[in-house]
Amino acid sequence: MIELILYHDGSCWVAGNGDISVAADTLDRLDDRVRDLVRDHGNYKGTGNRKVMMRFDNSTIPGWIRQYMPHYFNRMITVETG
């Protein structure tokens, strides 16, 4: 499983780890770019279906709100790497 940290910078969703990083204005486009990147990436290419776990970086939510709910969301997509 590939793990990415997800956040929103005010205009775009951004997902990345030390290895890859992508940004898009919608989650649909973000997923497309993640898929493209994973498929083309040397480390992941041809390894069958890969699960990509995106964990939201809750520091994106202002501190005064985190006391009420410390978690936004995590999501997982499946990428066919061929």
Contacts with another protein by CB under 8 A lie at 5, 7-8, 10, 16, 27-28, 31, 35, 53, 55-62, 64-79
Nearest distance in Å: CB 18, another protein: 8
Nearest distance in Å: CB 42, another protein: 22
In angstroms, the Cα distances linking 26 to 3, 10, 29, 68 are 19, 12, 5, 26
Nearest distance in Å: CB 36, another protein: 13
